[in-house]
Structure 1
Amino acid sequence: MNKILLLLFTIMVVCACRSGNDAKLTIATSANMRFAIKELVDAFSEQTGIDCEIITGSSGKLMAQIIEGAPYDLFVSADMKYPEALYQRGFTTGTPQTYAYGRLVLWSAAEGIEPDITILTSGQINHIALANPKTAPYGQAAVEVLKHYDIYEKVEQKLVYGESISQTNQFIISGAAEVGFTAKSVVLSSEMADRGAWIAVDENACRPIAQGAVIVKSTGEMKKAEKFYAFLFSEQAKEILEHSGYAKNEYTNR
């Protein structure tokens, strides 16, 4: 019931923004892109005069909302799986394209803790935060990392799951978890840059996090959506994404 009410509220808010000729472009965006998407939208709006409304959440939940009828114009995901699933079911105008590759980091805001994979099994760490691997690609990547180092079963009881990267970040910042996995774009953002310490996770420890985007077929703002989609793959957007911690290629150093 709560999920249905939340979806109805989201639809009402989005529809309220669509009245008149100055209707905003509504972009459903994965939580790891929370900071980068704002910079992208600001640059796009300055260039085109088109205003945008940003809806953030886990990629899996945003996909479900699109299937249930949420009036989003574009879907900027944290992976390729969810946009591909929408395409296969006929909800997009075309196949998803990779706009960037995400990077996973291990982050701690707790005083006296230097994040490192080796401390996760120690008594120093009681809680490890990660996004829900069932709906959040960065959570899936975190589980892959733990299994890569053969410590998943050893730390399984310490794991605390956020609904998305945003909630995971709150667990880390609040100290509810001594350490956690998040997106590199988060720790490089101006809001989080001076909070705690972090290390980049070895790129070989999990599959590359290819992030895809699609235009939702039901959009009522097709021309505007096509303009933003083109902008997302422009050199200007690539520079913004790289500055935010994303990569153009699967592996940074290859």
Structure 2
Amino acid sequence: MKHLSALFTALLAATGVHAGEVQVAVAANFTEPAKQIAAEFTRDTGHLAKLSFGSTGKFYTQITNGAPFEMLLAADDSTPARLEREGHAVNGSRFTYAVGTLVLWSSKATFVDAGGEVLKSGRFNKLSIANPKTAPYGAAAVETLKKLNLLEAVQPKFVQGENISQTLQFVSTGNADLGFVALSQVFQDGRITGGSAWIVPAEMHDPILQDAVIFKRGESNPAASALQAYLKGDKARAIIRRFGYAIR
């Protein structure tokens, strides 16, 4: 029977027939890992994960206003917990799928030093951060600048991104000299993929615990519970680590 089940799953994946699908809201910082995990998830289970990317804060607003998401991969742990308290999420479905790392990054080689001293030097015109009210990585950036006693000095140079993807775009295109982004956006297979960076020490801000949760509308969807289980499995966790996240 086990062999027949495995064969059936393989046939589903090979023929492009999906056993089911799940609508997933995904925090922008997790875009690339989510795409890879979704592809492997379909290949291994036959289910399709339909991904939408954006800021966790905006997803909260959409979800509480009836957006048809069945699952959220957030950039924090407080939003899923709040959605659970407010009755939108399935009790007991919440778990930490990744722990994020903040990095100060510039597309210019050697511009950012290994200790982040460039922030104190003032040798930059624009500093990009994500909106700290809606993006956890933006909030972590503000915490870091406060710890360094630099917030007031550098705040006039802020270029604020709507989410962490736009924040990275500002730096990549030269609209900002440097910016606080998610390590996962500039890191793959154990190294920074270009430019220069300072990996912000974890003690500079509250932990960026990224939690997932299933919503009430996805409670009876086998694809949602399958994705939840898949995210906890070895293959997904290996992908998550390759993008610079930690696993709890």
TM-score strictly above 0.5: yes
One of 42, 45, 48 as aligned partner of 2:45: 48
User: Partner amino acid for 1:205?
Assistant: M
SS in 2 for 1:117: coil
Aligned length: 229
In the alignment, the residues of structure 1 paired with residue 62 and residue 71 of structure 2 have an alpha-carbon distance, to the nearest angstrom, of 12
User: Partner amino acid for 1:141?
Assistant: A
In the alignment, the residues of structure 2 paired with residue 205 and residue 57 of structure 1 have an alpha-carbon distance, to the nearest angstrom, of 25
User: Partner amino acid for 2:90?
Assistant: T
Alpha-carbon offset, residue 81 of structure 1: 0.7
In the alignment, the residues of structure 2 paired with residue 206 and residue 220 of structure 1 have an alpha-carbon distance, to the nearest angstrom, of 34
Alpha-carbon offset, residue 144 of structure 1: 0.6
What is residue 105 of structure 1 aligned with on the other side?
Answer: 103
Alpha-carbon offset, residue 121 of structure 1: 3.6
- 1:150 equivalent to 2:149? Answer yes
Q: Which moved more, 1:71-80 or 1:105-114?
A: 105-114
Alpha-carbon offset, residue 175 of structure 1: 0.7
Alpha-carbon offset, residue 42 of structure 1: 1.1
Alpha-carbon offset, residue 73 of structure 1: 1.3
**Contact (CA 8 Å) 1:73, 1:221: kept in 2 or not?**
no
User: Partner amino acid for 2:64?
Assistant: I
In the alignment, the residues of structure 2 paired with residue 77 and residue 25 of structure 1 have an alpha-carbon distance, to the nearest angstrom, of 16
Alpha-carbon offset, residue 150 of structure 1: 1.0
Deviations 1:161-189 (A, max 9, x none): 10111000100101111000111111014
Equivalent residues in 2 for 1:224-243 (5 A)? 224-243=223-242
Where does the alignment leave 5 or more consecutive residues of structure 1 unmatched?
1-20, 250-254
SS in 2 for 1:90: coil
Q: Quick one: percent identity of the two aligned structures?
A: 37
Equivalent residues in 2 for 1:45-84 (5 A)? 45-84=42-81
**Contact (CA 8 Å) 1:110, 1:175: kept in 2 or not?**
no
User: Higher Cα Rg: structure 1 or 2?
Assistant: 2
- CA 1:112/1:197 → structure 2, altered by over 3 Å: closer, same or farther? closer
